[in-house]
Amino acid sequence: MLIRPNDIQKVANMFFNAIHEDEIEIVNALYEAVKSKDTEKADKLMEELAVDLEEHFSTEEELMREADFFGYPMHKAEHDRMRAEFKRVHERWKSNRNFAEVKRFLEDKLAPWLKLHVAQWDSVTAMHIGD
C-alpha cells in the first residue's frame, strides 16, 4: 500500500474527504499493478486516475468559486501543476509502458504531493467552504 488512509488529513468538508478516499484507492491499486508489472491493469488504472484527478480538481475548484474563496488562484495553480505533470507521465506511459517511471512518479511525486496539498490547501479551503 503506497498511501494509507490516515496519511491524508481529514478536512472540514465531506465531499473533499470522499474524493480523497476514492483517489487513494485508485492510486494504491495502480501502484500494485505497476509493481506486479500488469500492463493491462496499469493501462486501465492510468485512465481511471486521469478521470479521477480531473474530477477531484474541478469539483474543488467549482466549490471554491461558489464560496468566493480568496486562495482560489493559488489553489488552482497547484492543481494545474499536477495536471500538467500527470499528463506528461500518462503520455510517456502510453508511448513506452515503462513501469519504473510510473512507480517513481507515484512514490516520489504524487503520494507526497497529495499529502502536502491536502494539508496545505484543501484543509484551509474546506474550512472556508464548510460542510
By CB under 5 A, name the binding residues for Fe ion: 60, 122
Residues 6+ apart with CB under 8 A from 56: 19, 20, 23
Nearer to Fe ion, 43 or 50 (CB): 50
| Cα–Cα dist 80/47, whole Å | 18
Q: How far is the CB of 31 from Fe ion (least distance, A)?
A: 19
Burial of residue 96, with CB atoms counted within 10 A of its CB: 0-12 exposed, 13-18 middle, 19 or more buried? exposed
Least distance (Å) from Fe ion to the CB of residue 100?
A: 27
Q: Which is nearer to Fe ion, 60 or 106 (CB)?
A: 60
The nearer residue to Fe ion, 3 or 122, going by C-beta atoms, is 122
Question: What is the rounded distance in angstroms from the CA atom of residue 23 to the CA atom of residue 70?
Answer: 26
Q: In whole angstroms, how close is the CB of 60 to Fe ion at the nearest point?
A: 5
The contacts of residue 97 (CB under 8 Å, 6+ apart) are 39, 42
CB of 122 to Fe ion, least distance (A): 4
Which residue's CB is nearer to Fe ion, number 22 or number 38? Answer: 22
